A and B are shown apart, each in its own frame.
Chain A
Amino acid sequence: MAKTKLDIDNNVRKLRFEQQEMTQQALADKVGVSRQTIVAIEKNRYSPSLDLAFQLAIAFQKPITEVFFMHADVPSEQYKPRIKLKSS
């Protein structure tokens, strides 16, 4: 099966401004990364690990789906899991 490149985006920049215009450095210090990493995430040049994604969500006190989301222009049949789960 061909690998589908998902169009994942984020609201980090928007959420920062909603949180009393939190600086990139302040957010970076909060989640324990460098400011450059926050810049890269905001510009969609870097996809963070699940761990960092959850830390960002915790920092904003929002569910992770409000911080990271996917543009729904890829047909849903392409999201079929590779492992078949046993139905109980």
Chain B
Amino acid sequence: MDVKRRKVFISLASSFAVGWWLVSQVGQWDTIETVALGQLLIKAMGINIAAVIVGTIVITIVASLIWGKVDKDVTDERDDKIELYVMRLILVCFSIGMIVVFAMMGWQQLAANTALLSIFACMYIANLLGELLKLFWYR
């Protein structure tokens, strides 16, 4: 498996792990204080970033021990283009989600906790979609 696809798999795995951890933490999300929920979401983002970094280091070490060589990570014009398309998709998905959440806050009296979680969910889903699309385009 090449370096780019490996990175995508690590990112997907850490996203699923953090998602699972978050679900276990926010059992009674409508009764927790909004500040506490916000802190939990920030923690989840931090853990995700840390998990990606640690995962990349560990997998690179393990791969080099198994195959005895470190793969070069060449980034070329095609990768830049793919990255750009993925960023655009993430932005569009997240923006649509944000607009829907704000509209629901205005007209449907959406609770602050639900709105926070919905915005986080939009970001999470947009990120997952982007990673899956990367996987499809890197093939």
For window 27-84 of chain A, which residues contact chain B by CB distance below 8 Å?
28, 32-37, 40, 46, 48-49, 51-52
- For the complex formed, measure the closest distance between the CB of B15 and the CB atoms of chain A, giving whole angstroms: 23
Q: How many residues of B contact A (CB 8 A)?
A: 10
Q: In whole angstroms, how far apart are the Cα atoms of A35 and B78 in the complex?
A: 11
Q: Are the C-beta atoms of A37 and B2 separated by less than 8 Å?
A: no
The 8 closest A-B pairs by CB, nearest first: A33-B76, A34-B74, A37-B78, A37-B76, A49-B77, A46-B78, A34-B76, A36-B138
A-B contact pairs, 11 of them (CB 8 A): A32-B74, A32-B76, A33-B78, A34-B75, A35-B2, A36-B4, A36-B139, A48-B77, A48-B78, A49-B77, A52-B76
Number of A-B contacts (CB under 8 A): 32
User: CB-CB < 8 A to A28: which residues of B?
Assistant: 74
CA distance A51 to B76 in the complex (A): 12
Q: Which residue of A lies closest to B139 (CB)?
A: A36
- Apart from A35-B2, A36-B2, A49-B77, what 8 extra A-B contacts exist at CB < 8 Å? A33-B77, A34-B75, A34-B76, A36-B4, A37-B79, A48-B77, A51-B77, A52-B77
- Within the complex, the shortest CB–CB distance from B5 to chain A, in Å, comes to 9
Write out the residue numbers on chain A whose beta carbons fall within 8 Å of the beta carbon of B138.
36
* Cβ 8 A contact of B74, one of A33, A40, A51: A33
- Most chain-B Cβ atoms within 10 A of its Cβ — which of A34, A40, A48? A34
Q: Give the distance to chain B from A62, nearest Cβ to Cβ, in Å.
A: 21
The docked-state distance in angstroms from the alpha carbon of A32 to that of B74 is: 8
Closest CB-CB distance, B30 to chain A, in whole Å?
A: 46
Give the CA-CA distance A62 to B139 in the complex, in Å: 29
